[in-house]
Amino acid sequence: MDFETISLETDARGVATLTLNRPEKHNAMNAAMIAEISAACTQVAADDAVRVLVLAGGHEGTSFCAGADLGWMREQMAADRETRMREARGLADMLGALNTLPKPVIGKICGNAFGGGIGMMSVCDVAIGIEGSKFGLTETRLGLIPATIGPYVIARMGEARARRVFMSARLFEAVEAKDLGLLARVVIPEALDAAVEREVAPYLVASSVAVAASKALVRSLGPVIDAAVIDDTVRRLADTWETEDAREGIAAFFEKRKAEWTAG
């Protein structure tokens, strides 16, 4: 399958690498990228030759994923509720496909991640980042909420740690991302490839069938992320899009001004 916004390659060992490939947009997600990642997950899940998936975001030192694409955000501003809910569900389903993929997912977090990029980090079984990177759940600056990514972020961080960053939209560095549970390790950029390889190596000698069964087991024992939960997050996001704060926050962002609620 040919992709436009991502690449998918598998080496002779059975290590597949899914790379976000919109560097000019800091790998921001739009509807096309979301659909392509979902399709890639279907392809990888069905390929018995694939033993592990590495989720990467371009070259070291650049953005891993800047969240939602600005053009996509403009489209959502003009869309009706049904369209917004359909787009939100597409994102939720894509994250769900990564979260339940019957292969281990190793996140190669080569740079900054915001919003939906945090969601993608949260569905990795292990994520390794580099020093100097910035992270943030920045939705509330726009008058929105981290709804569809929320179940995956909470499952990763736990409620107590998530409260530190879930609502404030403040940025935090890689060391704090590790403390929050988003990253397993933080390395210098030059050591990222080797660190990812160390995570990949054990799966090359483990039973793929047993690995898939173990991942399904641990997921079943974690927080429930079922259709009802997804439906609720989609509805909550659609409700928030219809608020005056969302209209003001997004307008202020595109107009490069402070939102009217900003203090000081």
Q: CA–CA separation, 103 vs 58, rounded Å?
A: 21
What phi-psi label fits residue 223: left (phi over 0), alpha (psi between -120 and 50 degrees) or beta?
Answer: beta
Residue ranges in the chain modelled with pLDDT below 50: none
Report pLDDT for 235: 96
- Digit-coded pLDDT (tens) for 120-177: 999 999 999 999 999 999 999 999 999 999 999 999 999 999 999 999 999 999 999 9
Task: Provide the token pair at 263.
Answer: 């203090």
CA distance readout (Å), 76 to 69, 198, 259: 11, 41, 19
**Taking the model in full, what pTM does it have?**
0.95
At 64 the pLDDT is 95
Region of 107 (left: φ > 0; alpha: ψ -120 to 50; beta: rest) is beta
Domains and CATH numbers, the chain: 6-189 (3.90.226.10)
Burial of 194 (0-12, 13-18, 19+ CB in 10 A): exposed
Residue 106's contacts (CB-CB under 8 Å, 6 or more residues apart) are 52, 53, 54, 55, 124, 125, 126, 127, 128, 196, 199, 200
